[in-house]
């Protein structure tokens, strides 16, 4: 169920919230668990059994790890638990990729191609892995209440596409929480911001990007390619950050405070800074559960560079089972190593404008293999981005066919709100001498944006959350 679809906005969401606040505290967790399972089953049906099996497995595995007093047994149980979780993810997500690269057996390929990827499995597997490792490290104790454990894994706001929430971050709230009036107000406001980013910015620009990336390769031209890449760059940021905003807002309504996931990554001036601002919960996950265990900054320079490159290679593969995603991860690994080798020092000395231009260029180049379906499409887009030209049938696909006044206006709005303009305006309003009046004005503005977003969501025929497929 997509947060921006009418079924969620007019049926699931209001009923869930209403009955949650009517329910006594003793059954609030059970109620949220049942609602979350219904939410997941809405689109996945039988694959609900997969997440239930994962919940049961990790519930008992964590308790076993917690009870094991001797370190060798704790380590072996943890290794088995982590390996099992990764194996489940590998089966559903990577079976066809591995089969297609090691065999040409038709029966094997047909079988692996038919394996369905359960929505959100990449996210809830990573949450389960972090939970087992944190129990092993004695950073948290295993949760003995199966309802609380199940709710941690399946809580519907962040179940499908993150943020990747660690058990320690919501442990206290699973035990006892209070959703105050200010929490409710802040949660609704954050949800509205996310909804607006999704339906008013990401969807219109995403439609243009999809149309351009669907153009035959011989129909592409340099201007068209740049329009497609720019539209996709804004689409993926506003789409994914919108989901995170809505997830954080929904969690706040129910008394949960999820970690932030984006911090205006397009204002960064280096690739290193970009990854501190983009999908922050995923970056921290790889840092704490892969990069640091590999040695982090405690090892020699050469090994440190290799570890950094390996982490981003795996990060790319986590995003999708294709060589394009591996290329994308390797691409960022190379630039991160280059910045460690001295490029960061150069970027710090040059004017911020040029450092920012460098970052935007690197990011836009990176989105090409991320979005493209094949190496051939990737190469064609990259070649046309930097070598002016046009294909044989490019006249059939003029830029004017894809971009109009509305799209141009949306691009301008996207460029403005990719910067912390909204935060600045709100801060100015709260510090205004006419604070009460400005507060009413801001509430009216939020209400107007919500109304406009509802109209757009109801009329939309194109509204995918692109991170669902990861």
State CA 6 to chain mean position distance.
22
Partners of 221 in the beta sheet? 390
Sequence-ordered alpha helix ranges (H) in 254-322: 271-277, 280-286, 301-319
Nearest residue to 392 via CA among 213, 217, 227, 212: 217
Known catalytic membership, residue 319: yes
Nearest residue to 391 via CA among 204, 221, 235, 138: 221
Whole-number Å distance between alpha carbons of 214 and 167: 41
Whole-number Å distance between alpha carbons of 438 and 431: 9
Which one is catalytic: 116, 279, 319, 356?
Answer: 319
Task: Please give the structure tokens belonging to residue 361.
Answer: 């260029």
The CA-atom distances, in angstroms, between 424 and each of 104, 416, 444 are 57, 12, 18
Whole-number Å distance between alpha carbons of 447 and 195: 12
**CB of 65 within 8 A of CB of 132?**
yes
SS3 4: coil
What does 116-158 look like in DSSP terms, one character per residue?
---TTHHHHHHHHHHHHHHHHTTSSPPP--HHHHHHHHH-HHH
The CA-atom distances, in angstroms, between 270 and each of 68, 288, 306, 370, 421 are 44, 22, 20, 19, 21
Task: Please give the structure tokens belonging to residue 139.
Answer: 């950073």
Nearest residue to 3 via CA among 57, 38, 39: 39
For residue 311, how many other CB atoms are within 10 A of its CB?
21
Phi, psi of 143 (to 5 degrees): -80, 120
Whole-number Å distance between alpha carbons of 439 and 452: 20
Residues labelled catalytic: 319
């Amino acid at each position: 169920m997509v947060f921006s679809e009418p079924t969620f906005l007019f049926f699931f969401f209001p009923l869930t919230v209403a009955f949650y606040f009517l329910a006594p505290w003793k059954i609030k967790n059970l109620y949220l668990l049942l609602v979350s399972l219904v939410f997941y089953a809405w689109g996945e049906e039988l694959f609900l059994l997969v997440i239930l099996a994962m919940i049961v497995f990790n519930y008992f595995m964590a308790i076993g790890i917690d009870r094991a007093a001797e370190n060798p047994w704790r380590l072996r149980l943890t290794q088995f638990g982590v390996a099992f979780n990764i194996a489940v993810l590998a089966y559903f997500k990577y079976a066809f990729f591995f089969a297609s690269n090691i065999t040409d057996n038709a029966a094997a390929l047909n079988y692996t191609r038919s394996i369905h990827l359960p929505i959100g499995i990449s996210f809830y597997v990573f949450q389960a892995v972090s939970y087992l490792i944190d129990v092993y490290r004695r950073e948290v104790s295993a949760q003995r209440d199966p309802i609380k454990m199940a709710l941690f894994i399946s809580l519907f706001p962040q179940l499908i596409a993150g943020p990747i929430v660690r058990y320690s971050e919501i442990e206290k709230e699973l035990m006892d929480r209070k959703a105050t009036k200010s929490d409710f107000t802040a949660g609704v406001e954050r949800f509205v911001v996310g909804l607006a980013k999704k339906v008013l910015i990401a969807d219109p620009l995403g439609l243009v990007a999809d149309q351009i990336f669907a153009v035959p390769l011989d129909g592409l031209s340099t201007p068209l390619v740049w329009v497609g890449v720019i539209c996709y760059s804004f689409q993926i940021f506003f789409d994914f950050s919108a989901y995170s905003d809505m997830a954080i807002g929904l969690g706040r309504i129910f008394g949960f405070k999820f970690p932030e996931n984006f911090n205006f990554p397009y204002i960064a001036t280096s690739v290193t800074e970009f990854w501190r601002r983009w999908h922050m919960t995923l970056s921290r996950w790889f840092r704490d559960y892969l990069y640091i265990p590999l040695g982090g900054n405690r090892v020699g320079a050469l090994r440190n560079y290799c570890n950094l490159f390996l982490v981003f290679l795996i990060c790319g593969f986590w995003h999708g089972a294709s060589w394009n995603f591996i290329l994308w991860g390797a691409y960022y690994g190379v630039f991160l190593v280059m910045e460690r080798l001295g490029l960061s020092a150069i970027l710090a000395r040059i004017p911020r404008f040029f450092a920012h231009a460098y970052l935007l260029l690197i990011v836009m180049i990176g989105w090409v293999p991320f979005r493209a379906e094949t190496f051939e499409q990737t190469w064609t887009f990259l070649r046309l981005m930097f070598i002016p030209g046009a294909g044989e049938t490019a006249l059939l696909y003029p830029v004017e066919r894809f971009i109009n006044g509305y799209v141009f206006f949306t691009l301008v709005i996207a460029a403005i709100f990719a910067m912390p303009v909204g935060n600045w305006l709100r801060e100015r309003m709260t510090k205004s001498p006419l604070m009460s009046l400005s507060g009413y004005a801001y509430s009216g503005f939020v209400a107007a944006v919500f109304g406009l977003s509802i109209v757009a969501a109801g009329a939309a025929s194109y509204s995918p959350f692109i991170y669902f497929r990861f």
